Each structure stands twice: as structure tokens, then as C-alpha cells.
């Protein structure tokens, strides 16, 4: 029988591999498209029409598909100004607060971006040359922001439970693991 922690690690790993796989495939497609466009432009004086639009859409997809993984691993860009003066026994409180603030910010962004996606479909927004509806991409961005908010909330709960001693160490606060947790 597997523990709840082990099952959550498996779910997290499947989610991570899935999102990283889709983001990686999108990045690879973006590379192939750019290479084909440059080769067509250089050798045949015939670029691929819509390359800029497709590259923009794929870049947005790569960034937002990677965001939940970054949030789960806590690999955000950070400045450690307070690390040297913050007592180590109270790090869990700081981590709970930081993750709750990030959760709130991500949730606000997700709700606003979702509203933009609805408006894009309502108005029939499409890309300029290829006429691709942008609402789908905007909804993807909103969904990834919401998933990221949920994951940072789970991180905050995990820090809280470990900090007050309700959950055995072995997660993000464990000394044998990096600050990002499950690596």
C-alpha cells in the first residue's frame, strides 16, 4: 500500500512530465519552423507565411505550459535578501506566506486572463495573416495560471503542515532536499 505522499509524488511527476513534454514538443516545432523559414528565405527567396504569428503563439504556449512545473518545483526567480537574517526555525512561516501571496496573485491573473479569453471568442479575435482564433491560447494561459495557483497553494499547505509538525518531514522543508522540494 502506497502512502498519500507517494501517490501525490506520482501524480506530480506525471503532470510534470506531461507539461514538460508538450512544452518541449512545442519548442521543437518552433525551432523547426524557424529553421525552415530561414532556409526558405535564404536558399529559395521564399519565406513561410505566418511564421511570426506561429512563433508568437508557440512561445506563449511554451511559457505558460512550463509555469505549473516552475511553481511546483519553486524554481522562480528569487532574491534571497532575508535568508541570512531569517531564523531557520521560522522558514516555514515565510514559505507559507510567500506561497499564499503567489497563489493570490496567480489566481487574480487567471481570472482576468479567462475573462480576456471569453472576450476574444465573443469578438472573434484571430491572428492577422493565418486567421487562427487566439481565444484557445488565452484559455490555455488562464488554465495554466489556475493550475499554478493551485500548486502554490498546495505548497503553502505542505509547508504549514510540516512546520506545525502534522506531517513528517520529507517534503520541501527537509534538509536533504533543495528548497524546490521533489527533485
| pLDDT tens digits along 53-81 | 999 999 999 999 999 999 988 888 888 78
Is-contact 103 152, C-beta < 8 A?
yes
User: For residue 132, is it within any domain?
Assistant: yes
Given pLDDT bands bounded at 50, 70 and 90, which one contains residue 170? low
Record the pTM.
0.85
User: For residue 168, is it within any domain?
Assistant: no
Q: State the Cα–Cα distance between residues 147 and 178, nearest whole angstrom.
A: 23
- Domain enclosing residue 148, as ranges: 4-163
Total domains, the chain? 1
User: For residue 174, is it within any domain?
Assistant: no
Q: What's the chain's average pLDDT?
A: 88
User: Helices (DSSP H) in 44-172: which residue ranges?
Assistant: 51-73, 91-123, 135-163
User: For residue 170, is it within any domain?
Assistant: no
* pLDDT > 70 fraction of the chain, expressed in percent and rounded: 89
User: For residue 183, is it within any domain?
Assistant: no
Amino acid at each position: 500500500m502506497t502512502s498519500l505522499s507517494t501517490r501525490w509524488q506520482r501524480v506530480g511527476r506525471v503532470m510534470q512530465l506531461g507539461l514538460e513534454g508538450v512544452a518541449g514538443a512545442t519548442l521543437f516545432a518552433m525551432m523547426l519552423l524557424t529553421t525552415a523559414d530561414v532556409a526558405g528565405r535564404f536558399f529559395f527567396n521564399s519565406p513561410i507565411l505566418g511564421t511570426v504569428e506561429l512563433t508568437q503563439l508557440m512561445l506563449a504556449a511554451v511559457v505558460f505550459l512550463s509555469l505549473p512545473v516552475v511553481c511546483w518545483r519553486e524554481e522562480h526567480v528569487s532574491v534571497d535578501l532575508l535568508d541570512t537574517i531569517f531564523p531557520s526555525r521560522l522558514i516555514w512561516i515565510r514559505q507559507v506566506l510567500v506561497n499564499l501571496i503567489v497563489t493570490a496573485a496567480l489566481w487574480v491573473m487567471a481570472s482576468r486572463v479567462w475573462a480576456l479569453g471569453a472576450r476574444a471568442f465573443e469578438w472573434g479575435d484571430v491572428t492577422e495573416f493565418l486567421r487562427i482564433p487566439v481565444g484557445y491560447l488565452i484559455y490555455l494561459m488562464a488554465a495554466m495560471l489556475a493550475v499554478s495557483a493551485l500548486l502554490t497553494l498546495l505548497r503553502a499547505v505542505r509547508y504549514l503542515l510540516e512546520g506545525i509538525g502534522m506531517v513528517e518531514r520529507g517534503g520541501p522543508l527537509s534538509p536533504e532536499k533543495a528548497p524546490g522540494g521533489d527533485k
